[in-house]
A and B are shown apart, each in its own frame.
Chain A
């Protein structure tokens, strides 16, 4: 199995006013294999978003390196293979769903026919096909989350990075999203998601990583971690690892 994401000795230090420093990530190492769903867990401020932003090239490492499919994130070719759903996505509110997908499709330089076909498919997949003429300003939080997922998939990515993908969704929407992610995994996609919902991670992730204060505290398959830490539930395991630190 080849490696989709390889992170080596990644350190991210934020420089604040008055020469103060905050360490977002410290000597972080991680490898995510192609085709797996990897769940990133941690309390608020643990470094999850810093990690995702560094992987995506939105912020830059202080030390260490990140490779995606063997190449650095600055490589435009690599970006063609990535789909990203941010937490609480916000898009250009005057556009409709199809217009938004068309805009992102243009950035990926998709041929017109492919773009239209994918756009129609994705809108149906996320349950927004009936609302084609509705501007995004009229979307609910859950609908924005769903159009965000469609945008993340417009380029048929090999790697999908999702930051809290089910935050604004109702139980049905959450279930549909989980089913969609499992289907994408069947198609060979690699998925990296960060989430606060332990039950969601438990249901779909092959491996998990728990981080706090910029350090990776535990990594592995859930069953193995439960056995190793002698805990019965995922919640107990999570709390034990964070407290043991």
Chain B
């Protein structure tokens, strides 16, 4: 078997047993299920509320699950010294990182699917049909989650679990606010500050690209072309994050 797949299988099995991740999943399902209750805030817009709350919950809790799982995937192996027994075997460090990412991706797929199916069932009860736009939004959320997993994994290859968590969450929020940042910059006159901000704008993934919730909730059409482009954009960042993770992990002393 391809070695990263051996690591992926084992990592996935291990993540399935993490009680903290299971708790996050249960909490997200409760929140999705209770989205109808929020409709009293906006009478007459129950459907929009269900879509909005459902998709936001999948994205936010999916993000938390991905970050916690990614950090757990590397740090627990180091803390418990199981990594010692693995890296002395004919296993390249890059295969270990790729394997861990594949295991995380499987875990992401499972958690995402459970949340998405529950959300779709809820929508079907209400609307009896699900628009294609919802599937487009879900696809983009899934690739956003993959990117978050890759970033959290990469960061945890060279820092402590606490720093990895804070940094990954920070990047997630900054990545979502990046468009606002650009708008704010229009009024800034300092050339150096603008150059610096532009530099970060170019290297930090723009997570808002993956967000079509607002459009989908009010049935605004989103082209498949946009979904494909954004997916490609996400995958390029995944590859870059993994390369950074591999680079640092190869230098890390265990």
Do A and B come from the same complex?
A: yes
Within 8 A of B (CB), among A66-100: 76-77, 79-80, 82, 84, 86, 88-92, 94
User: Which chain A positions have C-beta within 8 A of B14?
Assistant: 92, 94
A60-B253, A106-B6, A107-B6 known; A91-B88 Cβ under 8 A? no
Within 8 A of A (CB), among B41-80: 80
A59 x B254 contact (CB < 8 A): yes
A108 x B89 contact (CB < 8 A): yes
Chain A residue with the shortest CB-CB distance to B11: A92
> Taking the nearest CB of chain A, how far is it from the CB of B52, in angstroms?
38
User: Which chain B positions have C-beta within 8 A of A106?
Assistant: 1, 6
Q: B84-96 toward A: CB 8 Å interface, digit per residue (1/0)?
A: 1111111110000
Choice from A57, A88, A94 contacting B87 with Cβ under 8 Å: A57
Assess whether B17 is interfacial by the CB under 8 Å rule: yes
Assess whether B22 is interfacial by the CB under 8 Å rule: no
The CB with the most chain B CB atoms within 10 A, among A53, A58, A80, A161, is that of A58
User: Which chain B positions have C-beta within 8 A of A90?
Assistant: 80-82
For the complex, give the distance between the alpha carbons of A91 and B86 in Å: 10
B90 x A108 contact (CB < 8 A): yes
For the complex, give the distance between the alpha carbons of A61 and B154 in Å: 24
For the complex, give the distance between the alpha carbons of A91 and B14 in Å: 12
User: Which chain A positions have C-beta within 8 A of B254?
Assistant: 53, 58-59
User: Which chain B positions have C-beta within 8 A of A148?
Assistant: 85
User: Which chain A positions have C-beta within 8 A of B87?
Assistant: 56-58
Assess whether B131 is interfacial by the CB under 8 Å rule: no
Q: A88-130 toward B: CB 8 Å interface, digit per residue (1/0)?
A: 1111101000000001101111000000000000000000000
User: Which chain B positions have C-beta within 8 A of A91?
Assistant: 82, 85
Assess whether A210 is interfacial by the CB under 8 Å rule: no
A92-B82, A103-B10 known; A57-B88 Cβ under 8 A? yes
A82 x B88 contact (CB < 8 A): yes
Assess whether A201 is interfacial by the CB under 8 Å rule: no
Interface residues on B, range: 20 to 34
For the complex, give the distance between the alpha carbons of A91 and B254 in Å: 16
Q: Chain A: how many interface residues by the 8 Å CB criterion?
A: 29
Assess whether B229 is interfacial by the CB under 8 Å rule: no
Assess whether A191 is interfacial by the CB under 8 Å rule: no
A107 x B253 contact (CB < 8 A): no
Chain B residue with the shortest CB-CB distance to A89: B85
The CB with the most chain A CB atoms within 10 A, among B1, B17, B80, B88, is that of B88
Assess whether A151 is interfacial by the CB under 8 Å rule: yes
> Taking the nearest CB of chain B, how far is it from the CB of A166, in angstroms?
18
A58 x B84 contact (CB < 8 A): yes
Q: B202-246 toward A: CB 8 Å interface, digit per residue (1/0)?
A: 000000000000000000000000000000000000000000000
For the complex, give the distance between the alpha carbons of A82 and B90 in Å: 9
Q: A150-180 toward B: CB 8 Å interface, digit per residue (1/0)?
A: 0100010000010000000000000000000
Given contacts A84-B84, A106-B6, 13 further A-B contacts (CB under 8 A): A56-B84, A57-B88, A80-B90, A82-B88, A86-B81, A90-B82, A92-B10, A92-B82, A94-B13, A103-B6, A107-B90, A109-B90, A151-B85
Interface residues of B (CB under 8 A from A): 1, 3, 6, 10, 13-14, 17, 80-82, 84-92, 253-254
Closest 9 CB pairs of A and B: A59-B253, A79-B90, A58-B254, A84-B88, A56-B88, A76-B90, A107-B89, A106-B6, A90-B80
Interface residues of A (CB under 8 A from B): 53, 56-60, 76-77, 79-80, 82, 84, 86, 88-92, 94, 103-104, 106-109, 148, 151, 155, 161
